[in-house]
Structure 1
Amino acid sequence: MSDYSIRKYRQTLIIGLIGVIKELFPSEQLIISHSILDGVYCELKNSVLSSREIQKIEDHLKTWVNTDQTIHYETGDDHLFHCQIQEQMITTIYPPLEQSGSLKHFKLIHFLPGFILLFPNANHPDSLSPFVPPEKLSATFSETQRWLENLHLSNVQDVNAIISAKSSQDLIYLAEALHEKMISSIADRIFKKRSKVRVILISGPTSSGKTTFAQRLSTQLRVNGLRPVALSLDNYFLPREKTPLDCNGQYDFECLEALDLPLLAAHLNALIGGSEVETPLFDFVCGGRCPAGRTMRLGPDEILVIEGIHALNPSLLPSLDRTQMFKIYVSALFQLNIDAYTRVPTTEVRLIRRLVRDYKFRGSDPARTLAQWESVRRGENNNIFPYQEEADVMFNSSLLYELNALRPYAEHLLISITPECPHYEMAVHLLTLLSFFDSLDISTVPFNSILREFLGGSAYNV
């Protein structure tokens, strides 16, 4: 199932949920807060629900699905979709399915103070994945929400109002100051464990700003008297002829087994023990290692920094003592929504980042980036998201103003996609999403900002 199809499936369930809540709790308001694992976290505005009440909601939602309700909606000139349920007019950025009867797989899970509406994974649309409470991810969302409340920001319109009032510079500086404070705090945590921690492992999905984050963290570590040394997992790829194949017979460069794990483990154990090693350098043109590598020795005040999609996977370095590692998960966990019912999906924030970056720095046209997205998402679901709770700390790389700043660049690219393109529907959807964000002048965005990794003008080599 494509990313867009699964979004329609999920949006239809959300519409049904809105109707059920209106029926069972007519004086309450449902708030669709944020995505979490393969679901969305929801709350009632004025009530904390019991397990019994959540089960009742699920039973009513199943009844709504099983009666195969016809969902009537209209498409406006603004490309938004308007449908009515329980005498409520719902506006959504995704079209719902026309019938509810195909919504076979979902579950409501009690997650105080609200609940999670769990959907099928896009990779496995005919079943629900086992649910393990994402305590660290949830805590990260809660921390971001508290910060937004401190700034009296509740939705996208609040940011637009700041821009209209010509106070966008203050907004930019506040958002960047929060990032700097968070990065400094992470560096302080690592410093407190400096007698044990010798390896920092950084992972996260595509277009999360991991490269800029790693360099800014390295700066803060140096402030604390540590000397970070980068070690690239890319240099530990197996030679092309030994690379595993995927189900289509193509080289699978994203699987863990594409790395020379025994060599990586031997080098890290040697470096931590104070020995000198010659780490490999991988030549991606010829698909093999260069004749000469890079000689390394880890000094007493030096600490390794490793960034890669498998960095949080416990199978990457199974022989290394866990106390010697500090793991960081980086992702753009965008928190501001359009309204109580309409989320801004974190996945689409990253896709917009990637569209702009790929065009500016990788010579990739937007249609190609959209065509690759399903494969990218499949790799994230297999190799990154299952291990995010392994992290010692999570860093939300989203910036309050980023879709306002990215809008002019992304719009220019998306408008170029014609109706003949198979990804035209997604392009129109992203344009609709961006239309909620007033454009922002980027001249005052700092050159060390994570956003510069996508807009250009970064102070770092990204």
Structure 2
Amino acid sequence: MKRMSENTLRQYRQTAILGLILTVEKLFPTEQLKIAHSILNGIYCELERSLLSSREVRNIEDKLREWARRDTPITCTPGDDGFFHCELNGRQIKSLYPSRSHSGSLRDFRLVHYPPGFILLFPDPEDSEQSSPFVLPEKLSATFSESQRWVENLNLDEVSDINRIIADQRSYEITALAEALHEKKISLIADRILEQKRHTRIVLISGPSSSGKTTFAQRLSTQLRVNGLKPVPLSLDNYFLAREDTPRDASGQPDFEALEALDLGLLNRQLDILSRGGEAEVPIFDFVQGRRRPVGETLVLKPDEILVIEGIHGLNPRLAPSLGRSQTFKIYVSALFQLNVDPLNRIPTTEVRLIRRLVRDDQFRGIDPIRTLSQWPSVRRGENNAIFPYQEEADVMFNSSLLYELNALRPYAEPLLVNIPPGNPHCETAERLLRLLSFFTPLVPDKVPPSSILREFIGGSIYPV
């Protein structure tokens, strides 16, 4: 199939999801389908009360293909409740996103049995034929599953659960729970690094844009110090080339997500100097000016210190090929948001990261929302090409999402999106994000702890960002 735009691909996926809902309702009339979370180019789904066999999953796929071949007409109309109301086969289904007008174009999908449920795989955004065997990202899947069990055990797996707590003036409960989970996970990671301190000289932290890597690195460093270790921070963002020297993507836009957007020569020279106990003047990048500051920061790595490096390419083996695997401890950080609006409407993790980035760019990087939205397709391509392929190389994964974060981000993001002028090419995206945010009761900023990862995006952090 030809390459699709993000919006077209989103509609294509929603068509498959609507057909899946109808198919499961027909085959399992007493069950409730839950669309749980994304995984690679698909979504993981399960039934609330039943385990599905591989034979049952094949049957669902066969019936879904029959539905697609019937070229079922679909009409989606925006409602006042924030949903699209989609009519198909005499059934009305509420959806966060619209669908294509007919199901007949639905060709490229498949179902993969993954007990207790299955994964609905969509077309690859880079126009892959999907001919290679599906390889489950086991560490990422386990991280999603762990997060899902956590919210379900707390009975906090839907947006309304969080809104109710905020409405009852008990927001401190949800912020305390979410932040305590983060602190516990970070402490456990620090303990694992302590166990390997004899060999580990460098901690590499990677993850896609707006994952909270900077604050995570600093909070991890705090826990490492508690363990008696001496961390020394180093941000890959400071090795960006000047904006005029940044490589361009296929559309001619600056490709900030490309590995080549970093000054790899300088980075590797300085890592070699530091690893031998020498002194290096590491750069400081000014994001407002789009270039390094004239004077950097002097750094020396002593024998009893650990270098903590964070950046989107932290797990890429081409970043620093001279580093031995035994010298490094690798961490993958991403915002794997786990709340659903309802069982059939999940909140995509990508949307959460985009909202984070919109707010952060406006607050700290001198980048207006239109420019952020213009850069986002390049960001996504960069993630697919240079970040996601290496995520399973991590020793551990950390979910940086917070249950209350879209409640707290809404007061910041909403004014930015509302002010995008009519007729702008990004109006559709702005309207989509505004619909998503409308489901969340706003949370005032002073409820967010100053050490929270969320402070990296809204300001007021106790850590430098």
TM-score, L = length of structure 2: 0.91
Alignment map for 1:43-442 (pairs within 5 Å): 43-85=46-88, 88-124=91-127, 131-234=134-237, 236=239, 246-247=249-250, 252-259=255-262, 261=264, 264-265=267-268, 267-272=270-275, 274-278=276-280, 281=283, 296-442=299-445
Query: How far, CA to CA, are the matches of 2:383 and 2:313 in structure 1?
Result: 10
Query: What amino acid maps onto 2:17 in structure 1?
Result: I
Query: How far, CA to CA, are the matches of 2:374 and 2:96 in structure 1?
Result: 21
Query: How far, CA to CA, are the matches of 1:133 and 1:147 in structure 2?
Result: 22
Query: What amino acid maps onto 1:11 in structure 2?
Result: Q
SS of structure 2 residue aligned to 1:458: coil
What are the Cα deviations for residues 419-439 of structure 1, in whole angstroms up to 9, with x where unaligned?
A: 311111121111111111111
SS of structure 1 residue aligned to 2:233: strand
SS of structure 2 residue aligned to 1:28: coil
SS of structure 2 residue aligned to 1:98: coil
Query: How far, CA to CA, are the matches of 1:401 and 1:346 in structure 2?
Result: 14
Query: What amino acid maps onto 1:276 in structure 2?
Result: G
- Unaligned runs of 5+ residues in structure 1 are none
What are the Cα deviations for residues 186-225 of structure 1, in whole angstroms up to 9, with x where unaligned?
A: 1111111110111111111111111111111111111111
Query: How far, CA to CA, are the matches of 1:181 and 1:209 in structure 2?
Result: 16
Report if the CA contact (8 A) 2:284-2:297 is conserved.
no
Report if the CA contact (8 A) 2:86-2:98 is conserved.
no
Report if the CA contact (8 A) 1:276-1:295 is conserved.
no
Alignment map for 1:446-461 (pairs within 5 Å): 446-461=449-464
Q: CA deviation at 1:269?
A: 4.7
Q: CA deviation at 1:137?
A: 0.8
Report if the CA contact (8 A) 1:49-1:114 is conserved.
yes
SS of structure 2 residue aligned to 1:131: coil
- CA separation of 1:178/1:67 partners in 2, compared to 1, >3 Å: closer, same or farther? same
- Unaligned runs of 5+ residues in structure 2 are none
Q: CA deviation at 1:72?
A: 2.7
Query: How far, CA to CA, are the matches of 1:161 and 1:258 in structure 2?
Result: 44
Query: How far, CA to CA, are the matches of 2:271 and 2:242 in structure 1?
Result: 20
Q: CA deviation at 1:312?
A: 0.8
Query: What amino acid maps onto 1:458 in structure 2?
Result: S
Query: How far, CA to CA, are the matches of 2:158 and 2:294 in structure 1?
Result: 55
1:33 aligned to 14, 33, 36, which one? 36
Q: CA deviation at 1:233?
A: 3.0
**Aligned positions, number:** 461
SS of structure 1 residue aligned to 2:356: helix
Report if the CA contact (8 A) 1:120-1:128 is conserved.
no
- CA separation of 1:364/1:46 partners in 2, compared to 1, >3 Å: closer, same or farther? same
- CA separation of 1:239/1:95 partners in 2, compared to 1, >3 Å: closer, same or farther? closer
- CA separation of 1:263/1:355 partners in 2, compared to 1, >3 Å: closer, same or farther? closer
Query: How far, CA to CA, are the matches of 1:310 and 1:378 in structure 2?
Result: 14
Deviates more, 1:356-365 or 1:190-199: 356-365
Query: What amino acid maps onto 1:7 in structure 2?
Result: R
Q: CA deviation at 1:376?
A: 1.4
What are the Cα deviations for residues 311-365 of structure 1, in whole angstroms up to 9, with x where unaligned?
A: 1112323332212111111111110101110001111111111122222222333
Q: CA deviation at 1:237?
A: 5.5
SS of structure 2 residue aligned to 1:443: helix
Report if the CA contact (8 A) 2:270-2:282 is conserved.
no
Query: How far, CA to CA, are the matches of 2:223 and 2:425 in structure 1?
Result: 45
- CA separation of 1:428/1:87 partners in 2, compared to 1, >3 Å: closer, same or farther? same
Query: How far, CA to CA, are the matches of 2:306 and 2:155 in structure 1?
Result: 39
Of all paired residues, the percent bearing the same amino acid is 63
SS of structure 1 residue aligned to 2:231: strand
Query: How far, CA to CA, are the matches of 2:240 and 2:325 in structure 1?
Result: 23
Query: How far, CA to CA, are the matches of 1:73 and 1:226 in structure 2?
Result: 57
SS of structure 1 residue aligned to 2:80: coil
Query: What amino acid maps onto 1:403 in structure 2?
Result: L
Q: CA deviation at 1:111?
A: 1.2
Q: CA deviation at 1:366?
A: 2.2
